[in-house]
Amino acid sequence: MAYHPTNHRRLPAQAHPDLGEESLMRPSTSRGVGRARGAASALLASLLALVLVTGPAAASPAVASPAVVPAATPAAGDGARAVVDVTDFGADPSGALDSTPAVAAALDHAKDLGGPTRVVFPTGTYQLYPDRAPVRELYVSNTVGADQRYKDKRIAILVEDMDDVVVDGEGSRLVMHGEQTIFASIRSRDVVFEDFTAEWVAPRTLDLTVVAAGTTNGQTYRDLRVPDGYVYAVDGTTVRWSGETSPYTGVPYWTDQGAFGYQQVVDLATGRSSRGSWDGASTNPFAGVSAITDLGDGRLRFVYAASAASAPVGRVFQMRRTHRDTPAGFVWESERTTVRDATFGHLHGFGVVAQLTEDLTIDRVRFRAAADSWRTSAASADLVQVSGGRGTVTITDSDFGFAHDDPINVHGTYVELVSVDGPRTATFAYRHGETAGFPQFYAGDELALVDKATMTDVQGGTATVVTVDGPTGTDTSHDLTRMTVTLDRDLPAGIAPGAVVAENVTYTPAVEIRGNHFESVPTRGILVTTRKPVLVEDNTFDQMGMASIYVSADARSWYESSVVRDLTIRGNTFTRAQSPVIWFDPTSGAATRP
């Protein structure tokens, strides 16, 4: 039986005369993407009827300048909500032209209207390139820290300083190119992103599927299928890879070689995934290779020594780099943001990040590679990460599968005490290299001091922030890792630099995670650390490599806060678990744990 990652049913293997001693059903390379939780029977029938149409690279569409639209272009009425049609600004629903500048112009126009708006993508296919996307200097939690190489983020759909706006895809397909953020809500309120599918032409996470395996001339071989969209060339016992070429610059969006830097494996027959090694064998397909041959039609033959173990047909080698250059979606300093009825075929960089935001809803969202794409990786890291939230985080009826890291992680951030600068003033610092550059406190927030050795609140260490001098999240005008905070009362006596951390209690959300499906992830399913009530209910977890539900507070490694005091876990289903399904694991800064 062959396991298909985008359908929870098991599909029968289909022999193919060109696949060697073992064979795997080979889907078409057309790029249609199924709607979330669609008709499984229809999908099964279509998969069994697919024919092979291959090619190593997808052609770039023509490039067009945005249409010139007068600022006074009227918007059609939708009750009290104005409707702004992106095609009125030059967006091309046929998928022939780059629609990015037109989308930016439509959003600017919606902003100028100053009232409730609906920005619509009439049903179609829209190509979105990074070259002419809006650019913002942004610092994002758990990504690249203060690394200046990645400070500028390109954002295809940017909602910024807006209130009461719906971005409605009307079922459209967004085809993403290069390295960029799909959508962002920055300093905005009452924003909805809905009803679209987003996929990547050549994501920088590369999945190589074993389509044939055996021995020839006494040597083990594997035939690996490369997804369409990539340009590659065999170079001895390695392969030089590149993404598609920018139609603006003529330069590839990215280049790499060999196994990229980080690898894991997923087995389509069982759904099991693993990092580092697989039953003692390397997850790096280049380990021990003696020859590589380009067979054409997107297939590479890797030849190994006779003693090498043969990876069976249906095993996928997933390779990526470790730099999380940009979030795939970003919500920052916003209120009441909703993402619903969407499908993400891939999330470039680092998932959907909600940072210091209030009331986030993820509803009926599917995180899966397209069924006919030869890709399995839904993301190179987490799928949804909330770093400092308030109000309520609600994640319901969604499908999380085949990520390289945790599908959901809700946490705050501990910053370490660096110095006591006065009776009511102290300096704190970010301590993990992937987190820096953005504010951790605002005036009026409640701050709590925590003893690193015991992970308990310091007596008398809770106060209100009066002033903050620290990073802004948008520039380098201030040190990116340190912040000086003045409180409304004296600091406790005896607190010592390095022994105490602080957290923002105001930005700790209540959490509801209900009715979701989690599948085939080598790490955890849900991480949650917050002082507010948490409900994890009626979810299914299948093939989690680590704990399905992980509860911690960490003042030693990731510095992810906070204490958990009100947690309800009920009605969940755990199958094929590879670790304890629920794990409580506080991580203190002491030599031994509390």
Residues 102, 117: contact at Cβ < 8 Å?
Answer: no
| 3-state SS, one letter per residue, for 389-447 | EEEEEEEECCEEECECCCCEEEEEECEEEEEECCCCEEEEECCCCCCCCCCCCCCCCEE
Q: Under a CB-based contact definition with an 8 Å cutoff, are residues 525 and 544 in contact? A: yes
pLDDT tens digit sequence for 57-79: 444 455 555 444 443 344 454 56
Percent of the chain's residues with pLDDT above 70? 86
Q: What is the mean pLDDT of residues 488-511?
A: 98
CA–centroid distance for 204 within its chain: 12
- Asked whether 179 and 254 are in contact (CB, 8 A), the reply is yes
Q: State residue 172's pLDDT score.
A: 99
Spatial separation of the C-alpha atoms in residues 211 and 12, rounded to whole Å: 15
Q: Which of 5, 345, 30 is nearest to 175 (CA)?
A: 345
- pLDDT exceeds cutoff 90 at 329: yes
The confidence score (pLDDT) of residue 40 equals 32
In tens, the pLDDT along 445-498 reads 999 999 999 999 999 999 999 999 999 999 999 999 999 999 999 999 999 999
Based on DSSP, count helices (H) and strands (E) in the chain, helices before strands.
2, 46
Cα torsion 488, 491, 497, 498: sign = negative
Name which of 246, 259, 271 is nearest 300 in CA terms.
Answer: 259
The per-residue pLDDT for 65 is 53
| CATH 2.40.30 domain extents, the chain | 414-503
- pLDDT band, residue 303 (cuts 50/70/90): very high
Q: How confident is the model at residue 99 (pLDDT cuts 50, 70, 90)?
A: very high
Compute the mean pLDDT over every residue in the chain, rounded to the nearest whole number: 88
What's the CA gap between 259 and 60, in Å, rounded? 26
Contact criterion met (CB below 8 Å) for 19 and 313: yes
Share of the chain above pLDDT 90, in %: 80
Q: Which two tokens stand for residue 500?
A: 């105490």
Any residues with CB less than 8 A from the CB of 287 and at least 6 apart, and which? none
β-bridge partners, 178: none
Q: Which of 22-31, 180-189, 190-199, 500-509 has the lowest mean pLDDT?
A: 22-31
Of the candidates 500, 430, 491, 499, the residue with the CA atom closest to the CA atom of residue 465:
491
Q: Band the pLDDT of 17: cuts 50, 70, 90.
A: very low
Q: Within 10 A of 123 (CB to CB), how many other CB atoms are there?
A: 13
Residue 15 confidence (pLDDT): 29
**Interatomic CA distance for residues 225 and 296, integer angstroms:** 10
- What is the CB-side half-sphere exposure of residue 187 using CA atoms within 13 A? 6
Write out the two tokens for 407. 């599908």
Provide the pLDDT confidence category of residue 80 given band limits of 50, 70 and 90. confident
Q: What is the pLDDT of residue 218?
A: 87
Q: Mean pLDDT throughout 363-392?
A: 96
Range list of β-strands (E), 219-259: 219-225, 231-235, 238-242, 255-257
* Cα 546 → chain centroid: 19
pLDDT in tens, 173-223: 999 999 999 999 999 999 999 999 999 999 999 999 999 999 988 899 999
> Token pair for residue 2?
């062959």
Identify the pLDDT of residue 589: 75
CA-CA distances (angstroms) from residue 17 to 211, 215, 216, 227, 315? Answer: 11, 17, 17, 20, 19
Give the residue among 133, 141, 235 at the shortest CA–CA distance from 180.
133
Residue type for 29, please? Answer: T
User: Under DSSP, is residue 68 helix (H, G, I), strand (E, B) or coil?
Assistant: coil
Distance CA 374, CA 376 (A): 7
Query: What CATH class has 414-503?
Result: mainly beta
Closest CA to 211 of 226, 194, 191, 232: 226
d(CA 544, CA 266): 12
Give CA–CA dist 376/225, Å, rounded.
12
